[in-house]
């Protein structure tokens, strides 16, 4: 039985952990390394670090910080943010991260995805699809941490990332991010149905019920959570936490892998 | 007593060494043939593609050293993830022959809408037969897996742990001094620590 992964997605800005709403309105959360220690104690499944200020500031990954983080973790780690070329990705892998997430660079140099997948294996490459609705309510894939509209349809773009060699899709509904109101289930379903690789739903988790919903109805293979694991409750102070295992088993239960032990 | 982690250019060496350090086991990472030849225990990591790995191992004399250590000297050796797949005869992923120390083949998970490949995430294991590598695991042992190919042993007795992902496959194997773990102990916190501790104490 494969347990559906529940992955804290921690947003970095420089050397600080922050939280955003719809990728804006940055709020300071704390020191990344301390936060990681807590998640380590909580024995979370996996951690994803996203530096959403890197590409807009044309900054490469902060390898020193990432090395400190990697030293504290005994679970899988992924990093995304500002990875523009093979060497930068390699530096992240050499530190001990399992996976890199690539968004903007994939639009500009799609062959980067293929090269990385060939060298490190598809399972090490997360293709990021950040989605935002335009004024007419149409959804497009965005680059540059949500700032630029690629005009590509999210489903098409996810398919293309899969064809290039990405092993997973991180599907972020920017409009839902930080809102605690639930995932974009319909969008997740469309993307999950279109690709054979796992889709990690991201953006909007507020309750464990939301997690169950996006897996059951949206076809997500994993969920990334942000606000839920760094704040006590919506509108309240910082408290690094993780849902109880019993609660997760209740809503996530047996996944599509089926079968009892 | 030191665990020697074989550096042939592919694998999560830092993380493995970190976990060994955390549990108080001396570990050295090296690609130097003399050091590998003198090792008391060997760890063969691996992340990436089968042929790329075998190509590197076959080059420069590493293959001969490993064969001698494993098959003649009986040095305990643990292959992790791709490292376990390299222990088999061959893989559907590549053209080159594997080390062939375990009678088994490495096969691809059949892709399907319902069972995504790679098998990625935490999954449960069940004991196929007791082994020093897997003793005293915490309750409901689970490990982190990430792989698109799985090992299928010829002889049932070589399988020590099994895991279900559509098919039931061998998630850990042992033949005499040769061990393999398909999951990543270095990414499986307390469960992985027990496995590495057991290996260190062999």
pLDDT, mean over chain B: 94
pLDDT of residue B176: 97
A119 and chain B: CB distance < 8 Å anywhere? yes
Question: How close B157 gets to chain A, by Cα (Å)?
Answer: 20
Q: 3-state class of A76 per DSSP?
A: coil
Measured distance CA(B100)–CA(B58) in Å, rounded: 13
Taking the CB of residue A183, how many other CB atoms lie within 10 A of it?
A: 28
- pLDDT above 90 (res A29): no
Instruction: Determine, for residues A196 and B189 on separate chains, whether the beta-carbon distance falls below 8 Å.
Output: no
pLDDT, mean over chain A: 89
Give residue A254's pLDDT band: very low, low, confident or very high (50, 70, 90): low
Taking the CB of residue A60, how many other CB atoms lie within 10 A of it?
A: 17
- Test the A interface: residue of B91, B140, B187, B193 with most A CBs within 10 Å: B187
A257 and chain B: CB distance < 8 Å anywhere? yes
How many angstroms separate the first and last alpha carbons of chain A?
A: 7
> What are the structure tokens assigned to B202, written together?
């062999």
* Residue B184 annotated in active site: yes
Question: How close A96 gets to chain B, by Cα (Å)?
Answer: 6
Give residue-wise pLDDT tens across range A138-193: 999 999 888 999 999 999 999 999 999 999 999 999 999 888 999 999 999 999 99
Give residue-wise pLDDT tens across range B167-192: 999 999 999 999 999 999 999 999 99
Neighboring chain A residues of B49 at a CB cutoff of 8 Å:
118, 121
Give residue A257's pLDDT band: very low, low, confident or very high (50, 70, 90): very low
Tell me how far CA of residue A213 lies from CA of A23, A206, A208, A245, B151, in angstroms.
Answer: 23, 12, 9, 17, 34
Give residue A122's pLDDT band: very low, low, confident or very high (50, 70, 90): confident
- pLDDT above 60 (res A261): no
Residue of chain A nearest B191, judged by CA positions: A74
Task: Annotate B123-140 with DSSP letters as a single string.
Answer: EE-EESS--GGGTTPPSS
Least CB-CB distance to A256: which of B114, B164, B189?
B114
* Residue B186 annotated in active site: yes
B8 and chain A: CB distance < 8 Å anywhere? no
Give residue-wise pLDDT tens across range A44-63: 889 999 998 888 888 888 99
List the catalytic residue out of B81, B93, B119, B147. B81
Question: How close A78 gets to chain B, by Cα (Å)?
Answer: 12
Least CB-CB distance to A257: which of B48, B115, B147?
B115
Give residue-wise pLDDT tens across range A201-221: 999 999 999 999 999 999 999
Buried b (16+ CB within 10 A) or exposed e, A123-159: bbbbbbbbbbeeeeeebbbbbebbebebebebbebbb
B179 and chain A: CB distance < 8 Å anywhere? no
Residues within 8 A of B (CB atoms), A 236-255 only: none
- In chain B, helix, strand, coil percent, each to 5? 30, 30, 35
Instruction: Determine, for residues A1 and B19 on separate chains, whether the beta-carbon distance falls below 8 Å.
Output: no
Cβ–Cβ pairs < 8 A, chains A and B: 100
A51 and chain B: CB distance < 8 Å anywhere? no
Instruction: Determine, for residues B142 and A75 on separate chains, whether the beta-carbon distance falls below 8 Å.
Output: no
Question: How close B74 gets to chain A, by Cα (Å)?
Answer: 30
Measured distance CA(B94)–CA(B109) in Å, rounded: 14
Q: What mean pLDDT comes out for the span B97-116?
A: 90
Instruction: Determine, for residues B18 and A221 on separate chains, whether the beta-carbon distance falls below 8 Å.
Output: no
Element (DSSP H or E) covering residue B160: strand B159-165
B29 and chain A: CB distance < 8 Å anywhere? no
Least confident of A19-33, B21-35, B54-68: A19-33
Residues within 8 A of B (CB atoms), A 126-165 only: none
Instruction: Determine, for residues A198 and B48 on separate chains, whether the beta-carbon distance falls below 8 Å.
Output: no
> How many helices and strands in chain A, by DSSP H and E?
10, 12
Q: What percent of chain A has pLDDT over 90?
A: 57
Instruction: Determine, for residues A123 and B147 on separate chains, whether the beta-carbon distance falls below 8 Å.
Output: yes
Q: What ipTM score was computed for the predicted complex, to two decimals?
A: 0.79
How far is CA A214 from its chain centroid? 15
pLDDT of residue A1: 57
- pLDDT above 60 (res A259): no
Neighboring chain B residues of A168 at a CB cutoff of 8 Å:
120
pTM higher than 0.90: no
List the catalytic residue out of B93, B119, B147, B186. B186
Give residue B125's pLDDT band: very low, low, confident or very high (50, 70, 90): very high
């Amino acid at each position: 039985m494969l347990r559906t992964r529940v992955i804290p997605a921690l947003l970095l800005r420089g050397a600080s952990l922050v939280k955003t709403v719809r990728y804006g309105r940055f709020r300071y959360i704390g020191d990344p390394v301390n936060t990681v220690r807590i998640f380590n104690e909580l024995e979370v499944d996996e951690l994803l670090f996203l530096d959403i200020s890197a590409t807009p500031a044309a900054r490469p990954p902060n390898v020193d910080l990432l090395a400190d983080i990697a030293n504290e973790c005994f679970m899988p780690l992924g990093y995304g943010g500002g990875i523009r070329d093979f060497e930068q990705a390699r530096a992240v892998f050499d530190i001990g991260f399992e996976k890199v997430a690539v968004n903007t660079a994939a639009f500009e140099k799609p062959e980067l995805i293929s090269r990385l997948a060939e060298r490190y294996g598809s399972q090490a490459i997360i293709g990021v699809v950040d989605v935002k609705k335009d004024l007419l309510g149409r959804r497009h894939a965005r680059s540059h941490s949500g700032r630029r509209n690629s005009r590509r349809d999210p489903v098409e773009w996810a398919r293309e990332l899969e064809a290039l060699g990405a092993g997973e899709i991180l599907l972020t509904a920017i409009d839902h991010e930080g809102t605690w109101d639930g995932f974009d289930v319909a969008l997740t379903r469309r993307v999950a149905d279109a690709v054979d690789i796992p889709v990690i739903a991201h953006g909007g988790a507020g309750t464990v019920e939301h997690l169950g919903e996006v897996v059951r109805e949206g076809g997500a293979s994993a969920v990334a959570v942000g606000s839920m694991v760094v704040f006590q409750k919506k509108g309240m102070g910082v408290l690094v936490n993780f849902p109880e295992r019993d609660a997760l088993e209740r809503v996530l239960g047996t996944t599509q892998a089926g079968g009892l032990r | 007593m030191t665990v020697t982690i074989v550096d042939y250019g592919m694998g999560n060496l830092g993380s493995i060494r970190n976990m060994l350090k955390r549990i108080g086991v001396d570990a050295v990472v090296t690609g130097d043939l003399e050091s590998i030849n003198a090792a008391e225990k060997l760890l063969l990591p691996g992340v990436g593609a089968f042929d790329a790995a075998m190509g590197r191992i076959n080059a420069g004399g590493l293959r001969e050293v490993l064969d001698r250590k494993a098959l003649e000297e009986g040095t305990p050796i643990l292959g992790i993830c791709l490292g376990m797949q390299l222990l088999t005869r061959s893989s559907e992923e590549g053209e080159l022959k594997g080390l062939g120390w375990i009678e088994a083949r490495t096969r691809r998970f059949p892709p399907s809408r319902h069972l995504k490949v790679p098998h990625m995430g935490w999954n449960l294991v069940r004991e196929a037969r007791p082994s020093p590598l897997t003793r005293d695991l915490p309750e409901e042992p689970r490990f982190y897996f990430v792989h698109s190919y799985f090992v299928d042993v010829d002889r049932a007795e070589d399988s020590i742990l099994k895991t279900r992902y559509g098919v039931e496959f061998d998630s850990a194997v042992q033949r005499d001094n040769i061990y393999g773990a398909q999951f990543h102990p270095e990414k499986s916190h307390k469960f992985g620590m027990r496995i590495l501790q057991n290996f260190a104490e062999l």
